[in-house]
């Protein structure tokens, strides 16, 4: 997948994260977790769309620890999309490392 396509996916995902966070009380952990996730996704999306170096280190494998079982089970499809986005984004972080080694 190229940067632009993943960036467009990220834009949609960030919007969905914000919309779903609004279903939770504004002072709840769930609301805060989803809002922070949207901030991270927007940052990654900006780097992708602006052809900047990809620097975020949000690992898809840490999603369960960061979100918790309940939030994931209540938002299975959304959590799968976040997992997939983080995994795809990490490809660009890894390619930054490779490009720097070959300079």
CA-to-CA distance for 70 and 72, rounded, in angstroms? 5
Q: Model-level pTM? A: 0.89
Residue 97: per-residue pLDDT: 55
Tell me, rounded to whole angstroms, the distance of Cα 94 from its chain centroid: 16
Residue extents of the structural domains in the chain: 3-95
Give tens-digit pLDDT for 43-78: 999 999 999 999 998 888 899 999 999 999 999 999
Question: Which tokens in the block code for residue 32?
Answer: 């805060």
Kindly state the average pLDDT of the residues 16-40: 97
Mean pLDDT of the chain: 92
pLDDT at 102: 43
pLDDT at 99 over 70: no
Residue 81, pLDDT above cutoff 80 = yes
H-only helix segments in the chain: 3-21, 29-49, 63-67, 69-74, 76-101
What the block records as the tokens of 2 is 């190229």
Spatial separation of the C-alpha atoms in residues 76 and 82, rounded to whole Å: 10
């Amino acid at each position: 997948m190229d940067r632009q396509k993943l960036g467009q996916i990220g834009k949609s995902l960030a919007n969905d994260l914000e919309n779903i966070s609004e279903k939770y009380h504004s002072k709840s952990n769930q609301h805060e977790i989803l809002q922070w996730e949207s901030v991270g996704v927007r940052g990654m999306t900006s780097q992708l769309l602006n052809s900047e170096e990809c620097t975020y280190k949000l690992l898809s494998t840490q999603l369960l620890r960061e979100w918790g079982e309940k939030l994931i089970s209540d938002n299975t499809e959304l959590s799968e999309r976040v997992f997939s986005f983080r995994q795809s984004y990490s490809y660009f972080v890894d390619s930054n490392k490779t490009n720097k080694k070959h300079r």
